[in-house]
Amino acid sequence: MAITHVAHKAIRTHFQHRPLEYAVDATCGNGHDTVFLAGLTSKRVWGFDVQSAAIKATEAKLAAAGLEHVRLIHAGHETMRQYIDQPVDCIMFNLGYLPRSDKTITTDADSSLLALKQATELLNSGGLISLLCYPGHDAGAIETRAVQSWLNTLDPQHWQVTHHTAREPKPSSPILFVLYRLTNS
Ligand SMILES: C[S@@+](CC[C@H](N)C(=O)[O-])C[C@H]1O[C@@H](n2cnc3c(N)ncnc32)[C@H](O)[C@@H]1O
């Protein structure tokens, strides 16, 4: 199964028996994750991307699917707290660059860590953050290491983190982290 589908499966399973009202796609890209989230979320989704091509592609996919409860924001996810002032249930990060596009426009360690910190502040207890990292390119390798160090700072009393990768992983294999905010936090 593609690792993006593993992320979708983790989210679908987690919210099978609990409400998913508010969600964030921190990296809209071609809009696949935004459409996926919008299909599961009952009240509102916010989607961020720094590229207008990504925002347009996502807008078109949402329109084709008839999904209207999404606010797309052409800005970096490190600004998410300027746009969202309420708790949310689920936040997806699919880091890296837009496939078949300019590979220099990629997420980077500093802004991703800023965004992740904000994501942990916004997430409801019982909520979930999915975080897909791509160590197979230079910026992605630096970012993945920074993310792994940051994950080690999370308090295990409040967070459970699982990770998923290829069955026979190489150093370049994508890694999915799923962060569950425990209900007693
Ligand atoms: C791997 S793609 C995302 C794939 C997407 N979720 C999908 O379903 O198609 C990563 C995206 O992150 C975007 N990006 C880069 N830096 C960003 C930032 N600081 N904030 C938000 N998005 C960013 C890129 O423009 C790119 O579209």
**Rounded CA gap, 25 and 41, in Å?**
12
**Rounded CA gap, 82 and 37, in Å?**
21
Mean pLDDT of 117-140: 97
Q: What CA–CA distances, in Å, run from 12 to 19, 37, 108, 148, 169?
A: 11, 9, 28, 24, 25
Query: Separation of 184 CA from ligand 1 center, angstroms?
Result: 32
Cβ–ligand 1 contact at 76 (below 6 Å): yes
* pLDDT at residue 24 in the model: 99
* pLDDT at residue 184 in the model: 65
Q: Give rounded-to-5 percent helix, strand, coil for the chain.
A: 40, 25, 35
* pLDDT at residue 100 in the model: 84
**Rounded CA gap, 33 and 7, in Å?**
10
pTM of the model: 0.97
Q: Which CATH number is 56's domain given? A: 3.40.50.150
Query: Separation of 100 CA from ligand 1 center, angstroms?
Result: 13
Count of structural domains, the chain: 1
Domain with 128 in it: 3-181
Using one digit for the tens of pLDDT, what is the confidence trace for 67-110?
999 999 999 999 999 999 999 999 999 999 998 889 999 999 99
Mean pLDDT of 38-44: 98
* pLDDT at residue 101 in the model: 87
Q: Does 185 have pLDDT greater than 70?
A: no
With a pLDDT cut of 90, the percent of the chain lying above it is: 95
Using one digit for the tens of pLDDT, what is the confidence trace for 100-127?
889 999 999 999 999 999 999 999 999 9
Cα 12-95-157 angle, rounded to 5 deg: 60
Do 77 and 93 form a contact (C-beta atoms < 8 A)? yes
Cβ–ligand 1 contact at 177 (below 6 Å): no
